[in-house]
Structure 1
Amino acid sequence: MNSIRARILAPTIALVLFGSLALVLLAMRDSYRQTEAVYDAQLVQAARLIQGLLQQQPLEQIDWRFIRTAVDGAMDRSAEGIFSHPYEINLAFQVWSRDGDLLMRSEQAPALDSPPSPGIHEFFLDGQEWCGVLLEDGRQGLRIWVGEREDLRQDLIQQILQHTLLPTLVCLPLLAVFIWLLLGWGLRPLQRMAQQLRNRPAHALEPLAPGPLPAELQPMRDALNDVLSQLSALLERERRFIADAAHELRTPLAILDIHVRNMQQAKNPEEREEALGFLHQGVVRATRISSQLLTMARLEARFGNLHCLDLTVSVREELADLAPLALDQQIELVLDADESVMVDGEPGLITILMQNLISNALRFSRSGDEVSVRIRQSGDQVHLQVLDQGAGVDAARLHRLGARFHSEGNPQGAGLGLAIVGMIVQQLGGLMRFRNRESGGFCVELSLPASASS
């Protein structure tokens, strides 16, 4: 069942149908009982009317034949000139004396051998079921019975119930049609939204136009706009990556081509070796640029869940991994940190961050220098500093540090290391600052929010 209208309509119609039928059946059952009670009350009332008629004169003066003819004619629906109702039943009557002698009986009354017990009762006689009431007149000593055939009564009751049920059966299909039309009217905003999406160009990633919508469709529009924004940002990152790669790799590849031609045109082994050395340096630089570009592309698309980690432990482990590189340059790595400084992050992000900061510091340090890392927590802020003893950076150029493809004092650099660090710090919700040390050297300071879990 792929249609929303069908998914709503089918259970709704089933609920309305079975609910209506259940209510009708309950109403019919109650109506049946009430109708039976009404007919029983008519029997009692007819018996009292006969009783009142017979009390008008002494018992010995009653003309039973005249009374029977008059009452029988009044109760005969087929009598000429008598108003009748479709739900009226032909009543039969009988009157006995106190001794059980039959005094009067209508033509249609059943031939009872003796009067039944007082009250309302049912009985079978000669293949017919009768329903009647026996009323005792204590003053005159009479027993008055008024009854009717049960099959005729049931036929009338069935007609009444059918007339009650018929409108329900007729109205249910009409109700289903109205529900179908109302659902179509209710789903019209969804259809308009679908039409709006179909009419959009294939390359259009702009958010859906704002406008009044039902409360159920507003989250859908917001979710679609979020998806479109993410797609737009993803395409923008891809375009930026392609543009950056084309821009940055164009020059190294051109230089590599020059070195290859120089090596081919070398006149002696010394010139060939010199060209080969330049070619190797160009390949290393192109490789570094490609690696940094791929790292930036991964970071821009990274939306991992951050979790609480010990920054001191992570930095100590990273410094241990970088120690061979520092020893090779005869540079000492020093860690000065508070114990158990907790931040929200990812070990992989911390690894990339420290590799770029330490490699930059080692690149601008001399043999015998010291590169130190300090970690301090102040309130809800964690401060991480990477300090070297190099020549520092011209104060007029400090503001350019961290920009993409800006390499300060390193012609072989890609100019992406600090930009990558800045992206990681931004993802961690922190800030990055640069300054020259008063005692000489350079300092990169990161301010990160302390983990709330700590």
Structure 2
Amino acid sequence: MSLRLRLFLILALATGGIWFSAVLWIEHSTRAQVQQVLDARLAEAARMVSSLLSDRRIAMAGEGAPVAIPLDAHGDYAHQLSCQIWSLQGSLVGQSEGAPQAQLSAAHGTGYSESTVDGETWRVYTVENTTLGVRVMVGDSLAVRDKLVSGVIEGLLLPLAVILPLLAAAIWVSVGRGLAPMHRLAEALRLRSPGDLGPLPAGPVPAEMRPMRAALDGLFGRLAKAREAERDFTAFAAHELKTPLAGLRTQAQIARIAPDEATRARALQNIERSVDRTDRMVRQLLELSAVESAGEAPGHADLGRLSEEICADLTPLAEARGVLLRSDVPQGASAPLRASGFLLHTALRNLVENAVQASPEGATVRISLQGGVLRVEDAGPGIPPELRARVCERFVRGTAGGDGSGLGLAIAAAAMDRLGGTLELPQSIGEGQRAELHLPPA
């Protein structure tokens, strides 16, 4: 169902409901007012007849048929009234034309009453003229009253039958005009090129659409940044892969034309080193992609076991560089995680691998736990002050030279961000650098 049709139905039903309620209220109010007015006319007619009798302007019958009572002084409604004059002894002494033969009201006394005569219900007002010894009764049929009320309601419903279709058309057109800014926005979005991620054109916007417009502009801004980061990532990755590949080609040419065995062996060693560097960078690129797409999997991490596994995995690398790996994380230590444990494993492994790569031969890389902070300490040269602010960016190396790709700290920072924790690199004092993984609170 379209939004326009939904709004139209809501407004049409609401308007129809209000009109229906108004008709019911008018019917009830009109009926009460008509009853009040007609009751007043009954009393007025009865008193008028009693007054005419007292003034001898209407003669009462003595013997024989009752005298006819004229009731033409009040217009058309008077023709619907019936009048009877009864003596206090119970004989009919006068009646109007069309009045029933039976007594209009059997109630004694004066005032209003209702009675059923010949199967028809009457509303009657009675006046006693004690001077003349008669009782004057003026009544009208309730069916006549209902007909009068129905006529009033029909007079309201007939214009309503004409107005409602016009009102529905007006609502349909108004809803369409009200939604016109949304249609213009949709058309502007449809006509935008895929590469256009700038803000929407400036112009007057309804207050209700400003949050949506601001959200779209924010989304376009984030998409533009993500696309720019993707382009930079692709360019940096291509450059970083090109460098070892060019070195591999050069060293292969040197090995092929080497004049002696020592030159050939050195070239092959450089080839192996370039392959290792390329392999590490490809692995880190895959890890970075996995970190950015890791889903939610809350649980607990066994920090002691995690630290030992990483040390076991990196022992061959550490032995090749003459570095000792040491884990001081107590057994049984655990921490709650808000996301996949793969993220913490990736962050800690990259920090330890960076520490091994940065440490000189004979140094020790130590993993420890203090409170909710995992620490990795090395004996390397540390991070230069001029690089400290950018060291967690992709392809930014924290040390001059070396075989790193500049992805390790970026991966660790991204993984901790997904976990809800942080990576901190305190200022090194003396030799070495300390990296801290602040785990998220429970």
One fold, TM greater than 0.5?
yes
Q: Any residues of structure 2 matched to 1:69-84 within 5 Å, and which?
A: 72=70, 75-76=71-72, 84=75
Tell me how many residue pairs correspond in the alignment.
Answer: 430
Provide the rounded CA distance (Å) in 1 between the counterparts of 2:94 and 2:223.
100
Q: In 1, are the aligned partners of 2:422 and 2:439 still within 8 Å (CA)?
A: no
Aligned residue number for residue 228 of structure 1: 220
- Amino acid paired to 2:99: A
Local SS of the residue matching 2:425: strand
Local SS of the residue matching 1:13: helix
Aligned residue number for residue 361 of structure 1: 355
Aligned residue number for residue 18 of structure 2: 19
Given the superposition, is the C-alpha separation of residues 396 and 15 from structure 1 closer, same or farther in structure 2, using an over 3 Å criterion? closer
Local SS of the residue matching 2:365: strand
Q: In 2, are the aligned partners of 1:407 and 1:414 still within 8 Å (CA)?
A: no
Provide the rounded CA distance (Å) in 2 between the counterparts of 1:109 and 1:414.
115
Aligned residue number for residue 378 of structure 2: 387
Q: In 2, are the aligned partners of 1:96 and 1:144 still within 8 Å (CA)?
A: yes
User: Structure 1: which 5+ runs fail to align?
Assistant: 77-81
89-98 or 9-18, larger mean C-alpha shift: 89-98
Provide the rounded CA distance (Å) in 1 between the counterparts of 2:226 and 2:409.
22
Local SS of the residue matching 2:116: strand
User: How far did 1:308 drift?
Assistant: 8.5
Aligned residue number for residue 190 of structure 1: 182
Q: Does 1:158 align with 2:157?
A: no
Q: In 1, are the aligned partners of 2:83 and 2:99 still within 8 Å (CA)?
A: yes
Work out which of the residue numbers 264, 283, 289 in structure 2 matches 1:291.
Answer: 283
Provide the rounded CA distance (Å) in 1 between the counterparts of 2:298 and 2:83.
96
Local SS of the residue matching 1:100: coil
Q: In 1, are the aligned partners of 2:384 and 2:399 still within 8 Å (CA)?
A: no
Q: In 2, are the aligned partners of 1:237 and 1:297 still within 8 Å (CA)?
A: no
Aligned residue number for residue 59 of structure 2: 63
Given the superposition, is the C-alpha separation of residues 62 and 225 from structure 1 closer, same or farther in structure 2, using an over 3 Å criterion? closer
Q: In 2, are the aligned partners of 1:241 and 1:293 still within 8 Å (CA)?
A: no
Provide the rounded CA distance (Å) in 2 between the counterparts of 1:31 and 1:364.
96
User: How far did 1:393 drift?
Assistant: 6.6
**Could you list the per-position Cα deviations for residues 352-410 of structure 1 after superposition, in whole angstroms to 9, with x for gaps in the alignment?**
33323333333455665422245546xxx95835122x6x3797987696672648576
Provide the rounded CA distance (Å) in 2 between the counterparts of 1:229 and 1:302.
24
Provide the rounded CA distance (Å) in 2 between the counterparts of 1:180 and 1:263.
83
**Could you list the per-position Cα deviations for residues 309-365 of structure 1 after superposition, in whole angstroms to 9, with x for gaps in the alignment?**
786775455335444654566643334569969797864343333323333333455
89-98 or 244-253, larger mean C-alpha shift: 89-98
Work out which of the residue numbers 428, 432, 435 in structure 2 matches 1:446.
Answer: 435
User: How far did 1:46 drift?
Assistant: 0.8
Q: In 1, are the aligned partners of 2:68 and 2:95 still within 8 Å (CA)?
A: no
User: Structure 2: which 5+ runs fail to align?
Assistant: none
Aligned residue number for residue 108 of structure 1: 98
**Could you list the per-position Cα deviations for residues 158-203 of structure 1 after superposition, in whole angstroms to 9, with x for gaps in the alignment?**
2222123334433333333333344334334323432432343331
**Could you list the per-position Cα deviations for residues 6-55 of structure 1 after superposition, in whole angstroms to 9, with x for gaps in the alignment?**
11110221132133223313431442344234323322221111112222
Q: In 2, are the aligned partners of 1:93 and 1:106 still within 8 Å (CA)?
A: yes
Work out which of the residue numbers 294, 297, 318 in structure 1 matches 2:310.
Answer: 318
- Amino acid paired to 1:10: L
Q: In 1, are the aligned partners of 2:307 and 2:329 still within 8 Å (CA)?
A: no
Provide the rounded CA distance (Å) in 1 between the counterparts of 2:43 and 2:265.
132
Q: In 1, are the aligned partners of 2:376 and 2:434 still within 8 Å (CA)?
A: yes
Local SS of the residue matching 1:93: strand
Local SS of the residue matching 1:143: strand
Local SS of the residue matching 1:202: coil
Q: Does 1:204 align with 2:200?
A: no
Q: In 1, are the aligned partners of 2:113 and 2:125 still within 8 Å (CA)?
A: yes
Provide the rounded CA distance (Å) in 2 between the counterparts of 1:361 and 1:444.
8
Instruction: Give the fraction of aligned pairs with identical amino acids, expressed as a percent.
Output: 30
